[in-house]
Structure 1
């Protein structure tokens, strides 16, 4: 599979399991927020607030593995496990995972899987946001919203994406690398050398 080693496959599987739990928690938290925001007419914004959480596997895992295909595979595998655990949206989440992973994959591929600067991580998160928003528009009936309401949804999703999948993913991966747990990866060696 691409130029992956066995350790890469294992690492992607481990983190996909971790993120599937985080993703499922995000679904239930978004539902709670939707209930709170519904009386004000902003229930759809609840999902936008946490949307960046659902992109984290597609930025965090590639930053560690630094190989082609990791963003899509990690996102899809996380989605599959999340569905098995009981995501109420069902198997359509797997297709969403493919789409959400494609944005970061393109950004990382452009940098030949070597540019994981904060700027590029945030750009990858933003691409996940754009790809997912277009998919949401096609599948989710966004056309019923006014242009300003839609713009607001996109801005909130973009901010969530950059914060969670961009900034937080980078910070968490680097903190994990400092523990020595990633010493067999470039990121782990860089953090130990510093």
Structure 2
């Protein structure tokens, strides 16, 4: 059986004021989460450094840094919203004192693109679990390639590179895909997002279920 996303008619991808507002709100909210993650990641990395594993300290939390883009895409369902949400979160994170400085903004662009690719594969017509899970793989690949260049991860032992990628992927699946998807679905079912596609789809499903019960 085809999902609702598979049978969607052509829709306008032009942005509306409500889209801009939600992107801005998402950027602000996730910037605080990102900044907090920096401190936690730094602590874990510092604890592992004496054992020569400091570089792995960030990986369990890395998926958190991709959440803004997935959140925006799942709700608004238009191209580019993920990149912009991620960039806004990154810029605000820098302004609030991120220890990595402006380089985080470039990270945000790469990460936003990494998530967007998964939904672009389906031409922004599917926003169910399939592209959401795929986004964890695409953003892990994009972010790690960038990190290899920026931080010379390619100089690490092969086993460490593989462990990094594996942990980052698991983190992305948990935070970027599962938690973000459940959060968006929960907000939609609660009626908070009725002005957006995800809220309207949730409302249509409720109506359908009520008719079935009758």
Residue 131 (structure 1) aligns with: 142
CA-CA distance at 1:83 after TM superposition: 0.5
Q: TM-score, normalised by structure 2?
A: 0.87
1:65 aligns with 2:76: yes
CA-CA distance at 1:36 after TM superposition: 2.0
Q: TM-score, normalised by structure 1?
A: 0.95
Runs of at least 5 residues in structure 2 that lack an aligned partner in the other structure: 1-12, 207-214
For 1:38 and 1:21, how far apart are their aligned partners in 2? Answer: 26
CA-CA distance at 1:110 after TM superposition: 2.1
1:77 aligns with 2:88: yes
CA-CA distance at 1:144 after TM superposition: 2.4
Residue 113 (structure 1) aligns with: 124
Residue 38 (structure 2) aligns with: 27
Residue 192 (structure 2) aligns with: 181
For 1:83 and 1:9, how far apart are their aligned partners in 2? Answer: 21
Residue 183 (structure 2) aligns with: 172
For 1:28 and 1:113, how far apart are their aligned partners in 2? Answer: 35
1:87 aligns with 2:107: no
1:59, 1:125 within 8 Å by CA — same for their partners in 2? no
Larger Rg: 2
Residue 6 (structure 2) aligns with: none
For 1:118 and 1:45, how far apart are their aligned partners in 2? Answer: 28
SS at structure 2 position matched to 1:54: helix
Residue 146 (structure 1) aligns with: 157
CA offset digits 1:120-158 (Å, max 9, x no partner) = 101112211110000000011212210111111111001
1:69, 1:105 within 8 Å by CA — same for their partners in 2? yes
For 1:45 and 1:166, how far apart are their aligned partners in 2? Answer: 21
1:177, 1:188 within 8 Å by CA — same for their partners in 2? yes
Residue-pair matches, total = 193
